[in-house]
């Protein structure tokens, strides 16, 4: 019996539902199809997965096997189509990922700006409630970035007084922020406090 006749008999058996015949086809052509797929995909694991899908499709369409002239050509053609499908899917995923990143970036920046603005407003409310001299010292330290010595010299008061007033102002502002915001937002305000007060001078 010729090889063509052997293959035809095997294909007829597979078409009739013989798993034993299908296993024979699988074993005969697996290594060749794997090497072929490996030329087009990134990893052996991906090639193996693709070939498994090839044989799944062949089994699902087994009723048509009696109409093909060469199983090898049929299997390689099926593999080629799956490789192309794989490329298309990856390309589409890359496009969708880029679109997602672009769309996600804008709301993220907007949210950050909103949080920054809210923190700024909350900090200003706290600072506005400080006694005049304490507020002046606090702003000179955080807004103008003067040292305690420079503030003492400018206001003609002792450094210990400046230090005491500044720490009292800082404690009040921190407590205010904690009372008027949840933990995460309050923490953000505290971290941004100096930056926010600097912005108020602009």
Do the Cβ atoms of 137 and 166 come closer than 8 Å? yes
| Segment 156-180, tens digit of pLDDT | 999 999 999 988 988 888 788 777 7
For residue 189, is pLDDT > 50? yes
**In this predicted model, what pLDDT tens digit does every residue of 43-84 receive, in sequence order?**
899 899 999 999 999 999 999 999 998 999 999 999 998 988
Q: Is the pTM of this model over 0.85?
A: no
Please indicate, yes or no, if residue 122 is contained in any of the structural domains: no
* Total structural domains within the chain: 2
Please give the backbone phi and psi of residue 36, each rounded to the nearest 5 degrees, phi first: -65, -50
> Which of 45, 79, 95 marks a domain boundary?
95
User: How sure is the predictor about 105, in pLDDT bands with cuts at 50, 70 and 90?
Assistant: low
Scanning the chain, the segments in alpha helix (DSSP H) are 3-15, 19-38, 44-60, 71-128, 132-142, 148-155, 159-179, 183-191, 193-200
Q: Specify the higher pLDDT residue, 5 or 188.
A: 5
Q: Are residues 10 and 91 in the same domain?
A: yes
Domain that residue 45 falls in: 3-95
Q: Are residues 71 and 19 in the same domain?
A: yes
DSSP character string of 103-114: HHHHHHHHHHHH
Enter the tokens of residue 7: 């293959």
Q: Are residues 91 and 134 in the same domain?
A: no
88 and 36 in a common domain: yes
State the Cα angle at 23 between 41 and 8, rounded to 5°.
Answer: 100
| H/E stretch holding 80 | helix 71-128
Distance CA 99, CA 130 (A): 48
Final residue before a domain boundary, out of 37, 70, 95: 95
Q: Please check whether residue 142 is in contact with residue 151, taking contact to mean a CB–CB distance below 8 angstroms.
A: no
Q: Using one digit for the tens of pLDDT, what is the confidence trace for 118-153?
A: 667 777 888 889 999 999 998 888 777 788 899 999
Whether the per-residue pLDDT at 116 is higher than 70: the answer is: no
């Amino acid at each position: 019996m010729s090889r063509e006749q052997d293959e035809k008999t095997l294909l007829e058996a597979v078409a009739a539902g013989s798993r034993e015949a299908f296993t024979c086809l699988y074993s005969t052509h697996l290594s060749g199809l794997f090497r072929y797929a490996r030329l087009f995909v990134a990893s052996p694991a991906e090639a193996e997965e693709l070939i498994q899908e090839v044989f799944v499709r062949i089994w699902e369409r087994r009723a048509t096997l009696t109409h093909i002239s060469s199983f090898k050509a049929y299997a390689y053609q099926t593999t080629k189509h799956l490789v192309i499908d794989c490329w298309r899917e990856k390309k589409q995923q890359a496009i969708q990922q880029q679109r997602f990143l672009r769309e996600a970036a804008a709301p993220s920046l907007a949210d950050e700006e909103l949080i920054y603005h809210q923190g700024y407003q909350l900090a200003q409310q706290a600072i506005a409630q400080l006694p005049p001299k304490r507020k002046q010292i606090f702003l000179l330290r955080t807004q103008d970035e003067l040292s305690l010595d420079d503030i003492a010299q400018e206001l003609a008061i002792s450094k210990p007084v400046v230090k005491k007033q500044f720490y009292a102002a800082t404690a009040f502002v921190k407590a205010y922020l904690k009372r008027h915001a949840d933990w995460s937002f309050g923490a953000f305000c505290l971290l941004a406090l100096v930056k926010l007060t600097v912005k108020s001078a602009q």
